[in-house]
């Protein structure tokens, strides 16, 4: 953020388990592509940090605060403004509004940091910010059993049914379908009209799938969701399994 605020770019020239060194990027690029130019002496800016064995913390051992390299005028872009930096900068905005638009991120970065950022970089920053707040696709699917168990414990009378792939191991089971129905919805179903409506919707993201749902109407024409299922595809097999669980678990 220091480099971005000062409209300077740096490059890490050494990164080890106990040493980290960064130098002025334009100077490094000029020295690697052109011959030495007396009119543009190398920039002295440098930062060096080492990890101390005594306390296990990182300590800055060298810091040159000013850039003496003028050269070409710096552009409004900055390579050090990565998607990870953008993610940390907008994480609170994502917490307040998960639908925070990419074009708004571009405008926000331009206004606050005075740096032009591409739509692609802002999109990746938004994606990483969402993962910081809500977790990744992997972590969310890994938490699905705990999430469903928590729902069952907090809603008495609820039911759940898993169908795992045939090649799953006892230690690592891969689910194919999962069905659940909330106890209060099951109880309410007895007071509703004796008809159900079923539909599905696409799950977007890294893991494709379908969410199946069965709903009904009460005497006031209010929609009451009764049962849900996550399946891989909308097929005769998945719908048959869903309806079979509904008939056996929702009397």
For the record, the structure tokens of 51 come out as 């990890």
**Opening angle at CA 121, ends 97 and 31, nearest 5:** 145
37 has a pLDDT exceeding 60: no
Q: Which segments within the chain are labelled E, that is strand?
A: 10-15, 19-24, 46-51, 58-64, 159-164, 175-181, 197-203, 209-217, 223-231
Residue-wise pLDDT for 174-226, tens only, equals 788 999 999 999 999 988 988 899 999 998 777 778 999 999 999 898 999 99
pLDDT in tens, 105-130: 999 999 988 889 999 999 999 999 99
Q: How many CB atoms lie within 10 A of CB 154?
A: 10
- pLDDT by residue (tens digit) across 122-178? 999 999 999 999 988 778 878 888 888 898 889 888 999 999 887 767 777 778 899
Residues 244, 231: contact at Cβ < 8 Å?
A: no
Q: Cα dihedral sign for 14, 15, 16, 19?
A: positive
Kindly tell me if the per-residue pLDDT of 35 is higher than 60: no
pLDDT at residue 43 tops 90: no
Q: Does the pLDDT of residue 28 top 90, yes or no?
A: no
Helix H or strand E encompassing 113: helix 102-113
Contact status, residue 203 vs residue 211, Cβ threshold 8 Å: yes
Please list, residue by residue across 15-42, b when 16 or more beta carbons sit within 10 angstroms of its beta carbon and e when fewer do. eeeeebbbbbbbbbebeeeeeeeeebeb
Note the pLDDT tens digit of each residue in 55-83: 999 999 999 987 776 544 456 788 889 99
Q: What is the pLDDT of residue 74?
A: 54
Q: What is the pLDDT of residue 225?
A: 94
Cβ neighbours of residue 69 under 8 Å, at least 6 residues apart?
24, 26, 27, 40, 41, 42, 43, 45
Residue 73's pLDDT is 46
State the pLDDT at residue 140.
80
């Amino acid at each position: 953020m220091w480099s971005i605020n000062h409209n300077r770019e740096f490059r890490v020239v050494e990164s080890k388990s106990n040493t980290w060194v960064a130098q002025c990027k334009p100077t490094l690029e000029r020295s690697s592509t052109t011959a030495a130019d007396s009119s543009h002496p190398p920039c002295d800016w440098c930062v060096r940090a080492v990890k101390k064995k005594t306390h296990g913390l990182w300590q800055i051992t060298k810091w040159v605060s000013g850039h003496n390299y003028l050269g070409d005028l710096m552009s409004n872009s900055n390579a050090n403004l990565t998607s990870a930096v953008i993610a940390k900068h907008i994480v609170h905005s994502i917490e307040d509004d998960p639908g925070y638009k990419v074009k708004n991120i571009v405008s926000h970065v331009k206004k606050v940091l005075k740096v032009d950022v591409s739509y692609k970089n802002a999109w990746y920053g938004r994606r990483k910010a969402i993962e910081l707040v809500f977790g990744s696709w992997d972590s969310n699917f890994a938490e699905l059993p705990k999430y469903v168990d928590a729902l069952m414990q907090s809603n008495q009378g609820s039911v759940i049914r898993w169908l795992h792939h045939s090649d799953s191991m006892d230690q690592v089971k891969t689910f194919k379908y999962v069905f659940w129905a909330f106890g209060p919805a099951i109880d309410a179903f007895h007071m509703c009209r004796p008809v159900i409506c079923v539909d599905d919707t696409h799950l977007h993201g890294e893991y494709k799938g379908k969410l199946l749902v069965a709903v009904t109407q009460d005497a006031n024409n209010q929609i009451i969701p009764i049962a849900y299922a996550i399946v891989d595809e909308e097929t005769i097999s998945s719908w048959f399994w869903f309806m079979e669980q509904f008939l056996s678990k929702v009397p």
